[in-house]
A and B are shown apart, each in its own frame.
Chain A
């Protein structure tokens, strides 16, 4: 044996009750599960008191670019994620002609908040085809990748500038079909498309110009391979989402393909959304269609700065008016004692500080204010013998408005409703957006949050059910063969964790992007070892990330 993980509590991904035993690994594959394995191995890990589970699979990420300089997809790997699905939302880095690179960079920057430096010198563009992109990736990978091909870039390849202008003609549709076929042959796990996203010019991305017959033709190609169609529906409008569920169901039945849409989330402002969408999903699943809604585990936070007027202030008209002033006038208004006094009274009427007390400082420009980052306004106010609204204004002014704040848990935040949704057998846990929105919030640690919040604290899911949801279920939904279960013959993707501790860490600022670019990240808690294709890729005992690069493109 190359590796034996001993004495673990094996949660094998099937959903069946956990049991004690060893797991033996040779040549990157599991060869023995359960019982006491005699003899020794080259490497042994004592997992006594810990859960040994299949590596987690994240089905909605945008690690496409990051993987080119960081094959570990940090910090996803340290959360126990052993397989990521990049290329969502109609955007992938291939297939892409040289002349279209600026267009794609613009779309990535707009939709996923990737900074210039992420594209400028951080890697070498060596590909046009999907196959060559995967070749560029392979040698770097510490995690496994199941990549989607993006509809927008396929359209761009075939139609050029017209991709953003009109529907495709028959020849162009045929060209897209052939190009998609090449992507699937090379290892794409499916096709992603979007009915929502806009590019850097705030114009619809190319996929949004597709008529139904184009999507049907591409779905037909997916049907040749039994591959996934991922869609971003008009999630902000329930009725349109229902229509998309119906559309996906028809495509699924006609072409015998799995489909998934994301995001689906709960909001007090639209309380019927979840029940209506899930009722339609159940109806279509009962017909035999495969339409998997992706639901995130984490609640939604809202960030804002004083530079632009956030709707968060729309409930306090005086503040909203002030926020909409030109910059200089805004600063003058906030510095004017009388006007500020009126704003403070509006924000904290009668001394009630509830509105801003729990909000936290997210980022500051001044080095001397670094210690404020992550702290609540209520906490800082108590320290300064002030009020939360007042310290928020003080911090904003001290940083020449270049400070940001965050209101946490404002949406998808009813634990009972979200817990029930996550436990629903037709809900696909995902939609993390890992590697995206990097300068707005951390998209890592959703799996840790699943265990801490919905398994350990609330008991919405059993430990075994939660593991199954993010391993075997995901592999089955996406057609990722030979992964997601701890069984002989399966790939040795394994996460060892403490079920009493596993969680996401606090959200912090990191400067670990190319050229010390900033992003928000979360570390993990309670993860001990992460094994990818038989190699220890992350180990708390060994100090974190290792040199292992055993990641694979798992669809080939």
Chain B
């Protein structure tokens, strides 16, 4: 069996504010996975607030490096 990578946890690699289609600002997160691949996820203002709170972050830069589990919790709370 191949050994597990040292840290296979997907983590937030980048957090940017982006314009949303409906004229509101959104939070665009890039997630880097343990296998090296990446994807992006967009949060609305309310979900972004919850994520910042959950991470104890006061600035977007502090989201970088946070594990994806935090994000999952936030998305589960959003009800969709």
B49 near A324 with CB under 8 A, answer: yes
Interface residue A317 (Cβ < 8 Å from any Cβ of B): yes
Those of A304-346 within 8 Å (CB) of chain B:
304, 308-312, 314-315, 317, 320-321, 324
Report whether over half of chain A's contact residues are helix, strand or loop; otherwise say mixed: loop
Bound Cα distance A198, B44 (Å): 13
> Which residues of the partner chain B approach A265 to less than 8 Å between Cβ atoms?
21
> Which residues of the partner chain B approach A360 to less than 8 Å between Cβ atoms?
none
> Which residues of the partner chain B approach A437 to less than 8 Å between Cβ atoms?
22-23
**A interface, CB within 8 angstroms of B:** 198, 202-204, 235-239, 263, 265, 267-270, 300-304, 308-312, 314-315, 317, 320-321, 324, 410-412, 437, 440-441
Select one of A237, A300, A315, A412 contacting B42, CB under 8 A: A237
Given contacts A270-B18, A310-B45, A324-B49, is CB(A303)–CB(B23) below 8 Å? Answer: yes
A321 near B17 with CB under 8 A, answer: no
Size class of the B contact interface (CB-based, 8 Å): 20 to 34
B25 near A310 with CB under 8 A, answer: yes
Select one of B17, B27, B45 contacting A308, CB under 8 A: B45
Select one of B17, B19, B45, B49 contacting A315, CB under 8 A: B17
- Beyond known contacts A311-B45, A314-B27: 20 more, CB 8 A cutoff: A204-B80, A236-B40, A238-B40, A267-B19, A269-B28, A270-B18, A303-B23, A303-B24, A304-B24, A308-B45, A310-B25, A310-B45, A311-B17, A311-B48, A312-B25, A314-B17, A315-B60, A324-B49, A410-B19, A440-B22
CB distance from A224 to the nearest CB of B (A): 32
Given contacts A236-B26, A310-B45, is CB(A317)–CB(B21) below 8 Å? Answer: no
Q: Which of B18, B19, B24 has the most chain A CB within a 10 Å cutoff?
A: B19
**Quick one: closest A residue to B22, CB to CB?**
A437
A237 near B23 with CB under 8 A, answer: no
Select one of B25, B49, B58, B59 contacting A302, CB under 8 A: B25
Interface residue B4 (Cβ < 8 Å from any Cβ of A): no
Given contacts A204-B80, A269-B28, A300-B19, is CB(A309)–CB(B45) below 8 Å? Answer: yes
> Which residues of the partner chain B approach A235 to less than 8 Å between Cβ atoms?
21
Interface residue B8 (Cβ < 8 Å from any Cβ of A): no
CB distance from B59 to the nearest CB of A (A): 4
Bound Cα distance A203, B79 (Å): 7
**B interface, CB within 8 angstroms of A:** 16-28, 39-42, 45, 48-49, 58-60, 78-80
A202 near B58 with CB under 8 A, answer: no
Select one of A263, A270, A310, A324 contacting B28, CB under 8 A: A270
Given contacts A203-B79, A311-B27, A324-B49, is CB(A239)–CB(B19) below 8 Å? Answer: no
**Quick one: closest B residue to A236, CB to CB?**
B42
13 example contacts (A-B, Cβ-Cβ < 8 A) are as follows A202-B78, A202-B80, A237-B39, A300-B20, A308-B45, A310-B25, A310-B45, A312-B17, A314-B27, A314-B59, A324-B49, A411-B20, A440-B22
> Which residues of the partner chain B approach A263 to less than 8 Å between Cβ atoms?
21
> Which residues of the partner chain A approach B80 to less than 8 Å between Cβ atoms?
198, 202-204
> Which residues of the partner chain B approach A269 to less than 8 Å between Cβ atoms?
16-18, 28
CB distance from A322 to the nearest CB of B (A): 11
Given contacts A198-B80, A308-B45, A317-B58, is CB(A267)–CB(B22) below 8 Å? Answer: no
A317 near B40 with CB under 8 A, answer: no
